Amino acid sequence: MASSVFRSPKGTRDVMAPESDRQRALVAAFADVAVAAGYGQVISPIFEDVRVFHRLGEANDVVTKEMYDFEDKDGRHLALRPELTASIVRAFVQHRPRPPWKAWYEGPQFRHEKPQAGRYRQFTQIGVEVLGPDDPHVDVEVIALAWRFYESLGLSRIRLLLNTLGDPDCRPSYLVALETYLNDHRGDLSEQSQATLATNPLRVLDSKREPDQAVIAGAPLMVDHLSDDAGAHFSAVTDGLQTLGIPYEISPRLVRGLDYYVKTTFEFAGDALESAQNALGGGGRYDDLAEQLGGPATPGIGFALGVDRILLACDAEGVFPAPPTEPQVFVVDVTGGEQAMALTDQLRQAGLRADRAWGNRSMKAQMKVADRSGAAVAVLIGEGELANGTATVRDLRGDTGQQEVSRTDLVATLQQRFAST
């Protein structure tokens, strides 16, 4: 590492096998879950008009400090997407699919942050968005989708944190009450929180700083100031989760980072993770975003899950190992390599994972490579086999020895052996 002139940029990394196999499998598993629930994939551009992201919040670091934005050769002000919900809603507004529109996505996102465990400048998220219905059962479906997905990976140390941020009928008056309270206790707040209070009072509730805790504990809560409609919506969501048997914790101080959220918000905390970055995913309702992006007023809800963090959690819980990618058959050819060339081609056409050694090395050396490849069987071709029109099939993982098989039967025999795996 130290000797290379170039390195991956700060906060980015190369995901290599077998970790990349695992990431691919994770995304594939999520795709299966989403498709089974009626979601269609959206592959949107990695960069967008920077204004698409301005609705995330003017007081928000993601927008103000962390965006990779640039001007292209035509003078357009673009940004690498820092999240995907805004892109998906932009696509909705642009194409006007008939609601309810259920979309899933996967892909890299970019934020110029200081890297840390589970936090990178390029990171991958998977997620869904539903545009159209404001039915609280949609909230339940979306939350359940994420929950069942975590379960299917084998994760068990996950907590669902649930909150509501109210709606336009009740949030403004609540914010006044909160701001008044915080201003009354301004002197007891940390310097940081005093600054936050000026720009986004809600986020003071999320402070982890010790001196703030006493003030926060006495602060008025959104859940106690809900309008009838917002209250009914929240109750319907919690009722639905109970019906499905999905455990949740009301977390009245849970404040999601992006400003477009209203009503239901949620986060999945990974308790197996030691690091501070233990949020494995989160989401919420954004009923005004489509209109803010120039489309028809259309309620929406969705979530995004951090792929890198989920895999860290899987490591911590010892679940979701990398899928097998080692060859099933390894061809050892000591007659010059022509046989290996032809046979691996045949085996691959037959649907088997097959590999070989290079450089016309000794049988001993090739067998060593075969063993390390993880292959289940080695197929040996030497002068004898070549003369007889046969190949020696040797078991590398058990004690069943080896046998000479006619070349005409070889591929079919191996195909049969690996038929179920």
Partner RNA sequence: GUGGCCGUAGCUCAGCCCGGUAGAGCCCCGCGUUGUGGGCGCGGUUGUCGCGGGUUCAAAUCCCGUCGGUCACCCCA
Interface with RNA in residues 118-157 (CB under 7 A): 118-120, 123, 125
* Residue nearer to RNA on the CB measure, 227 or 251: 251
Burial (CB < 10 A; 0-12, 13-18, 19+), residue 179, is middle
- For the bound state, the minimum distance from the C-beta of residue 112 to RNA, rounded and expressed in Å, comes to 8
CB of 30 to RNA, least distance (A): 14
Residue 357 structure tokens: 């050694």
Total residues contacting RNA (rule CB under 7 A)?
77
- Cα dihedral across residues 211, 270, 300, 122: positive or negative: positive
SS3 (DSSP) at 165: coil
Build a one-symbol-per-residue string for 368-407: x at contacts with RNA by CB under 7 A, - elsewhere. Answer: xxxxx-----x-x-xxxx------x-xxxx-x--x-----
**Taking the complex as a whole, how short is the minimal distance between the CB of residue 103 and RNA, in angstroms?**
17
Q: Specify the residue, 167 or 259, whose C-beta has the smaller distance to RNA.
A: 259
Query: What are the tokens at 196?
Result: 């936050």
Query: Exactly one of 40, 45, 115, 351 binds RNA (CB under 7 A); which one?
Result: 115
Instruction: Pick the closer one to RNA by CB: 243 or 403.
Output: 403
Question: Of the candidates 90, 102, 309, 356, which one interacts with RNA according to CB under 7 A?
Answer: 309
Binders in 203-232 for RNA, by CB under 7 A: 203, 206-209
Residues 206-212: contacts with CB under 8 Å, at least 24 apart: 206/253, 206/254, 206/255, 212/188
Q: Which among 187, 267, 178 has a CA at the least distance from the CA of 223?
A: 178
Beta carbon nearer to RNA, 24 or 119: 119
Cis omega (within 30 of 0) for bond into 18:
yes
Look at residue 202 and give its three-state secondary structure. Answer: helix
Range in contact with RNA (rule: CB under 7 A) among 10-18, 96-104, 135-143, 239-247? 10-18
Quick check: 281 and 306 in contact, CB under 8 A?
yes
Per-residue x/- mask for RNA, residues 345 to 374, rule CB under 7 A? ----------------xxxxx-xxxxxx--
Give how far the C-alpha of residue 360 lies from the chain's centroid of Cα atoms, to the nearest Å. 43
Looking only at residues 165 through 204 of this chain, which bind RNA when binding is defined by CB under 7 A? 192, 196, 203
Residues 6+ apart with CB under 8 A from 406: 389, 390
Shortest distance in whole angstroms from residue 119 CB to RNA: 4
21-29, 60-68, 287-295, 322-330 -> range binding RNA (CB under 7 A): 60-68
CB of 39 within 8 A of CB of 97?
Answer: no
Q: Residue length, the chain? A: 421
Q: Binding marks (x or -) toward RNA, 249..288, rule CB under 7 A?
A: ------xxxx--------x------xxxx-xxxx------
